[in-house]
Amino acid sequence: MTTYQFPENFWWGSAASGLQTEGTVPGDGRGKNIWDYWYEIAPEKFFNGVGPEKTSQLYTKYKEDVQLMKETGHNSFRTSIQWSRLFPEGTGEVNQEAVAFYNDYINELIANGIEPFINLYHFDMPMPLQENGGWLDRKTVDAYVNYAKTCFQLFGDRVKHWFTHNEPIVPVEMGYLYQQHYPAEINLAHAVQVGFHEALSNALAVKAYRSLKAEGKIGIILNLTPSYPRDETNPADVNASVIADAFFNRSFLDPAVKGTFPTELVNICRDLDILPVYQEEDLAIIKANTVDILGVNYYQPRRVKAKESAVDHSNGPLPEDYFDYYDWPEKRINPYRGWEIYEKGIYDILINLRDNYGNIPCYISENGMGVEDEQRFLNSEGMIEDDYRIEFVTEHLKYVHQAMQEGANCLGYHMWTCMDNWSWLNAYKNRYGFISVDLVADGKRTIKKSGYWFKQVSDRNGFEG
Ligand code: BGP
């Protein structure tokens, strides 16, 4: 048995987002976002036809939920402020119902010893802005900066950890390459423009926050997917992994932390004549306004090899023109989500940040395992015995610990997620929480075995394993 001891003040908690947890109630004044709209026009795309209007009813149950966070050992918790709740039109009038709600929610967390980490954009573009192009439209960047500043002013007296975006590559790839988010286009030129505007909006929000001379920290949350080549001794495979890494990781990691874009990516965009439209001062703004802290979401690695298959030109250029995915024979897969489980990836990310990104302060902002039909694991006391989740977290934490022993600047570990919540298109198919949510019994919450286990880990600031 080894003792895995973490430093004092290590952040133990979980992450969620506004849209995935809150739900709507009549009179709350929330505006429509792209998910409401997509559900309206294509409900069949959503697992079991469940849309974003109800989700886990946190809007009315947050007091109960904060108590459950306490019971599961949280000293910190991340959520996002829904843009379309605060600004029903995306810009203009602030919705005072939203201000009251987020004030109460934040105060409740603090009163219970849980530090609120607040993220801004988590995939929830207000529909009036999307109608003008969403992130394709430069005016959305201005609207976003206004939303960011408003949040800093309203809640910044109590919130000391801010994040500008959660996984900004996801709206790029899922909205403009792989059709999993609205507007579900396949258009690399649009994807590049959207990504650039998001990167710029991050820098402008950092700048706005700094101008307030606030004492808190501001960062960004990135889903980093280490790109492993099929064969590390084969230069063509290694090159494929470098390109995949530039597209999916360094596209945001480099501008956010170093203030520059990866040369490989810029060269590809130049060759394809799809460099984004930008204004003269944008690059200097990005250079000057890098983040204080990085949130790392880690679920799965990316395995690639040199391009062997024919390039498919039917949808114009795509990242996959430069590499093929590699099916590693030794992989272990979470069959419900279809994602590889590879614990060492979390260590490799932290070491990469240590060696190549100035050891920027960071924390694991999401990690977790979505499992279908967890009712199978109910015991006679009505508790879900999710030993697989305990094992998943334990094995990842061991690698986090090892990286920290070797100098990685990791300040905490947040699970995805606290309460089972609604997922993009998958709705309630896969459950990730420490706490189950019974959709039939009006959202009844029950702590799972992993929730009690996490409390012990947090109390002891470590575990034996
Ligand atoms: C991350 C997102 C979360 C969450 C999680 C689980 O990428 O930040 O919002 O949804 O993944 O993934 P999914 O819900 O697709 O199973």
Q: How many Å lie between the centroid of ligand 1 and the Cα of residue 91?
A: 27
Per-residue pLDDT, averaged over 115-136, amounts to 98
| Mean pLDDT, the chain, whole residue set | 98
CA 179 – CA 171 distance, rounded (Å): 10
Q: What are the residue numbers of the active site? A: 366
Bridge partners, 371 (sequence order) = 431
* Residues 165 and 141 sit within 8 Å (Cβ to Cβ): no
- CATH code of residue 99: 3.20.20.80
CA 203 – CA 256 distance, rounded (Å): 7
The pLDDT tens digits of the residues spanning 237-267 come to 999 999 999 999 999 999 999 999 999 999 9
Q: How many Å lie between the centroid of ligand 1 and the Cα of residue 181?
A: 12
Identity at 223, one-letter amino acid code: N
Res. 54: pLDDT tops 90: no
Q: Is 367 touching ligand 1 by the criterion CB < 6 Å?
A: no
- Quick one: pLDDT band at residue 5, thresholds 50, 70, 90? very high
Q: Is 12 touching ligand 1 by the criterion CB < 6 Å?
A: no
Q: How many Å lie between the centroid of ligand 1 and the Cα of residue 360?
A: 24
Atom of ligand 1 nearest to the CA of 223: 7
Per-residue pLDDT, averaged over 341-366, amounts to 99
- If one counts the domains in the chain, the total is 1
CA 83 – CA 105 distance, rounded (Å): 16
- Among protein residues, the one with the nearest Cα to ligand 1's atom 4 is 423
Atom of ligand 1 nearest to the CA of 17: 9
- Ligand 1: residue of 33, 45, 334, 424 to mutate (most ligand atoms within 8 A of CB) is 424
Closest CA to 94 of 54, 221, 103: 103
- Quick one: pLDDT band at residue 407, thresholds 50, 70, 90? very high
Query: What does DSSP say about strands 362-366 and 410-416: parallel, antiparallel, or unpaired?
Result: parallel
- Quick one: pLDDT band at residue 146, thresholds 50, 70, 90? very high
Q: Is 416 touching ligand 1 by the criterion CB < 6 Å?
A: yes
Per-residue pLDDT, averaged over 194-214, amounts to 98
The CB density around residue 222, as the number of other CB atoms within 10 Å, is: 28
Q: In which region does residue 338 sit, left (phi positive, over 0), alpha (psi from -120 to 50) or beta (all else)?
A: left
Q: Is 426 touching ligand 1 by the criterion CB < 6 Å?
A: yes
Q: How many Å lie between the centroid of ligand 1 and the Cα of residue 83?
A: 18
Residue written as token pair 């100098």: 407
* Residues 272 and 310 sit within 8 Å (Cβ to Cβ): no
Would you mind telling me the total number of residues written for the chain in this entry? 465
Q: What are phi and psi of 223, to 5 degrees?
A: -90, 110
- Quick one: pLDDT band at residue 327, thresholds 50, 70, 90? very high
- Quick one: pLDDT band at residue 421, thresholds 50, 70, 90? very high
Outline where 72-95 has alpha helix (H).
83-86
Per-residue pLDDT, averaged over 73-93, amounts to 98
**What is the chain's alpha carbon radius of gyration, rounded to the nearest angstrom?**
21
- Structural domain containing residue 106: 3-464
Name the token pair of 28.
């709350």
What's the confidence (pLDDT) of residue 109? 99
Bridge partners, 126 (sequence order) = 33
What's the confidence (pLDDT) of residue 176? 98
Q: How many Å lie between the centroid of ligand 1 and the Cα of residue 214?
A: 30
What's the confidence (pLDDT) of residue 279? 98
* Residues 15 and 77 sit within 8 Å (Cβ to Cβ): yes
Identity at 69, one-letter amino acid code: M
- Ligand 1: residue of 340, 416, 431 to mutate (most ligand atoms within 8 A of CB) is 416
Query: What does DSSP say about strands 115-121 and 76-80: parallel, antiparallel, or unpaired?
Result: parallel
- 160 Cβ contact partners less than 8 Å away, ≥ 6 residues apart: 115, 215, 216, 217
CA 415 – CA 75 distance, rounded (Å): 12
